[in-house]
Amino acid sequence: MGGIGARLARIEDPPLLRGEGRFAADLNLPGQLHMRVVRAGIAHGVLRGVDLSAALALPGVVAAWTAAELEGIPPIGFRQMVVGGLLAYRQPVLARDRVRYVGEPVAVIFADDPYVAEDAEELVLAEIEPLPVLLSAADPPGDFDGTHGTESAVVVKAYGDLGAAFAAAAHVVEMDLSVGRHSGVPMETRGGLAEIEPGSGILRLHGAAKVPHANRNAIAAMLGLDPARIHLHEGHVGGGFGIRGELYPEDVLLCLGALRLGRPVKWIEDRREHLMAANHSRDQRHRIRAAVDAQGVVLGVEAEFWVDQGAYVRTHAVTVPDLAAAMLPGPYLFPAFRATAHQRLTNKTPAGTYRAPGRYESSFVRERLMDAVADRLGMDRVAVRRANLIPASAMPFDRGIDALGTPLVYDSGDYARLLDRLLAAVGYEALQAGLAARRQAGEMVGLGLAFFVEKSGLGPFDDVRIELDREGGAEVITGVASIGQGVETALAQILSDVLGLPPARIRVVHGQTDRIARGMGAFATRVTVMTGSAIAIAGARLRATLLARAAALLQRPAAALRLRDGEARAEDGSGAAIPLGALVAACLEGSDAARLVEEGSFQSGHMTYPYGIHMAVARVDAETSGVTLERIMVGYDIGRAVNPMLVEGQIVGGAAQGVGGALLEEFRYAEDGQPLSVTLADYLMPSCAEMPEVAVLITEDAPSRIGPLGVKGAGEGGTTAMGAAIAAAVDAALGGRVPIDALPITPARLHALRAAACPVA
């Protein structure tokens, strides 16, 4: 049937495999204009003026605007995790008095032809008086606008008695660790097509992603429109990873262009624009210390860290520092804890979220700390972790702090059991013995292991509407979005499980703001938990309605009937059955309605917390300091797997991004703030040549206590602790002589570390 637990092939893939995908760049309308953004060429300065005259004189240019033409349009606001004092740090749609990063929009061109628009961009002259450039969040704060400093927020998470913990410590272990600046770099760059619908006057923005309802409401508020007059439409999306689909200046400019100019407006960014202007992420420096007793039990942890937010605070507000601080303890007891996160602005591209935001960084920090504790005490690294794991008997486990505004309560988990299962699956003792023999023979090879706890299923709500037609088909309308994670397949499988309807007869509609009144979209690994639960709730009501009607028609108790294979069937072996379409028609008898409709909503004030372990085997080349990954395994408990094949795909894809962040990817800047990584020749990403096969161990030992399905999210766990595991593997390969305290571990950086640790006489 293809219900929950089936390894069903993705039902959304056939049009993509046939080359029939409809991405933003594929969309066109008669009479459309093409938009081109003029971007700042220096990192920080006073904007004295912008001369558009030469651009406006170019044949084919219809309009060109600076901030002067946008008076009354406010800066872009926040979608989540707003704290006091952030309003001053919002990004204007076009730069007004200052520019604060290379790539900031300072003007916009609208032309009949995309190449004319690009030519016109080169004719725009922006007069910018340079100001000092700030490039490190760990440096003392600077000036933002003459009134505000560059420290936009401080986030603190704390519990327990740290003073007592350090007073009782037999050892204090301190580290200074950092993670470089990364980004998601989806295959499809940002873009869209805005139009005013003839007749209705409705503004439609095609090419939306991730959070269509939230962006609709935000654009409507910024442009002074009734939200009913604007709709966003999602098509196929070539990857999201946290950065696609947030509200950017270009989205507002597209809509404003269509409104003012009365013609459709299209914009597709090139790769260079994407790398310099779409959200970056990571870029954190942590100073952390642990109080440890003589047996390796951590009594308390204190951390202070600096998050490089870039030039403005974008839609995520303090999401990243909040998650990094709250999730830093991971699976360990840590009886006392305090984390202080400084969100600071610099003259770099503004930052947002990227797959496992905050957790990738804090997992690297926490797991490196646990390795250091083991090394300081001369203990096995696995044994130290065992000594500090939260026991299964303590679940649900309340940290006493919050994450993303919800109480941080681990709903379920058996961390020690997952560790046992992973060690058995890899043949840990034999594997370590083999690596030791290779090191004895002169190879630099080692194994690293890192635990993590993820979060998923962020509320507060998700709505669905299920419509059954008289032909026996179903349509599920949701407010979620698809960014490649298999939404249509997973949600169809859940409804299939409830109604006994083959997934091929279920159509899932998502990302269309004119089809459902509200929706939360796709972020925070929430879709399966939240939307899946709403489907289960609405589907159960439909099932009760259908079985009650079938009971009357078949003259049998409803309890003796079952929905299966698209029909209501008696379980007594008589063969009595009614096709679903006929049953729907019977339910609608006497009504003009074409469909049997049921709505459902699931609300939650708590997240769910899947958890896992990454293991990596790495080899270091003695001459080049290049790192080769020989083996990767990810053990992950998600409570209940709707589609194990989709889960495996998510984990493998996430692992590749974790490898990129560990070994290759880093946005670098020159001293004057010029970005040095704005092509794919400079911002290096892993290919199949750098990726070993990723072994995946999915477990369902700890179903969630939240929601009717027991599921937890699978979208980010492939990434979360990969950097930590690879760092530990490289550390082991080098015999613990070289401090692996920063990501990415590039050959040049590792060569310098090796030379400093073992200088040649």
Q: Is pLDDT of 397 > 50?
A: yes
Query: Average per-residue pLDDT in the chain?
Result: 96
Round to whole Å and give the CA distance between 648 and 632: 13
Question: φ and ψ at 232, to 5 degrees?
Answer: -110, 145
Measured CA angle at 333 (ends 611, 459), to 5 deg: 45
Per DSSP, 26 falls in state G
What is the spatial order of strands in the sheet that 567-570 belongs to? Answer: 561-564, 567-570, 577-579
Please name the residue that has the structure tokens 């007059």: 229
Question: Under 8 Å CB-to-CB from 411, ≥6 apart: which residues?
Answer: 395, 396, 606, 608, 609, 704, 705, 706
Tell me the mean pLDDT in the region 38-46: 98
Round to whole Å and give the CA distance between 579 and 581: 6
Q: Is pLDDT of 761 > 80?
A: no
- pLDDT score at 123: 98
Q: In this structure, what token pair is assigned to residue 482?
A: 């698809």
User: By C-alpha distance, which of 169, 156, 157 is closest to 299?
Assistant: 169
Q: Is pLDDT of 760 > 60?
A: no
Q: Is pLDDT of 699 > 70?
A: yes
Q: Is pLDDT of 119 > 90?
A: yes
Round to whole Å and give the CA distance between 452 and 471: 47
Q: Is pLDDT of 759 > 60?
A: yes
Round to whole Å and give the CA distance between 362 and 285: 10
Per DSSP, 186 falls in state -
What's the per-residue H, E or C state across 596-661?
Answer: EEEEEEEECCCCECCEEEEEEEEEECCCCCCEEEEEEEEEEECCCCCCHHHHHHHHHHHHHHHHHH
Tell me the mean pLDDT in the region 89-112: 98
User: Distances from the Cα of 288 to the Cαs of 66, 203, 401, in angstroms?
Assistant: 46, 50, 19
What domains are there in the chain, each with its CATH number?
31-131+189-237+244-277 (3.90.1170.50), 281-457+606-757 (3.30.365.10), 458-603 (3.30.365.10)
What's the N-to-C CA distance of the chain in angstroms?
70
What is the residue-wise DSSP string for 733-760?
Answer: HTTT-S---EES--HHHHHHHHHHHS--
Gyration radius of the chain over CA positions: 27
Chain segment 510-565, per-residue pLDDT in tens: 999 999 999 999 998 999 999 999 999 999 999 999 999 999 999 999 999 999 99
Do the Cβ atoms of 157 and 329 come closer than 8 Å?
no
Return the amino acid letter for 63: A
Tell me the mean pLDDT in the region 504-511: 96
User: By C-alpha distance, which of 704, 254, 283, 167 is closest to 454?
Assistant: 704
Round to whole Å and give the CA distance between 527 and 482: 9
Chain segment 43-86, per-residue pLDDT in tens: 999 999 999 999 999 999 999 999 999 999 999 999 999 998 99
Question: Under 8 Å CB-to-CB from 428, ≥6 apart: which residues?
Answer: 382, 422
CA 152 from centre of chain: 23
Lowest mean pLDDT among 336-340, 446-450, 544-548, 588-592: 588-592
Q: Please, where are the H alpha helices in 156-237?
A: 162-167, 212-223
Question: φ and ψ at 144, to 5 degrees?
Answer: -95, -50
pLDDT grade for 277, boundaries at 50, 70 and 90: very high
Chain segment 557-613, per-residue pLDDT in tens: 999 999 999 999 999 989 999 999 999 999 999 898 999 999 999 999 999 999 999
- pLDDT score at 78: 97
Q: Indicate the burial class of 269 (C-beta count within 10 angstroms; 0-12, 13-18, 19 or more).
A: buried
- pLDDT score at 1: 65
Q: What is the pTM of this model?
A: 0.96
Round to whole Å and give the CA distance between 322 and 5: 34
User: Distances from the Cα of 138 to the Cαs of 195, 304, 352, in angstroms?
Assistant: 45, 11, 18
3-state secondary structure of 163: helix
Round to whole Å and give the CA distance between 527 and 240: 14
Which helix (H) or strand (E) is 545 found in, with range?
A: helix 527-554
Do the Cβ atoms of 568 and 555 come closer than 8 Å?
no
Round to whole Å and give the CA distance between 215 and 197: 19
What is the residue-wise DSSP string for 565-593?
Answer: TTEEEETTSS--EEEHHHHHHHHTTT---
3-state secondary structure of 295: coil
Percent above pLDDT 70 for the chain: 100
Question: Under 8 Å CB-to-CB from 623, ≥6 apart: which residues?
Answer: none
Alpha-carbon torsion (733, 735, 736, 737), positive or negative: negative
Chain segment 181-238, per-residue pLDDT in tens: 999 999 999 999 999 999 999 999 999 999 999 999 999 999 999 999 999 999 999 9
Question: φ and ψ at 179, to 5 degrees?
Answer: -125, 130
Chain segment 658-685, per-residue pLDDT in tens: 999 999 999 999 999 999 999 999 999 9
Return the amino acid letter for 551: A
- Tell me the β-bridge partners of 446: 618
User: How large is the angle between the packed helices 359-377 and 381-388, nearest 10 degrees?
Assistant: 110
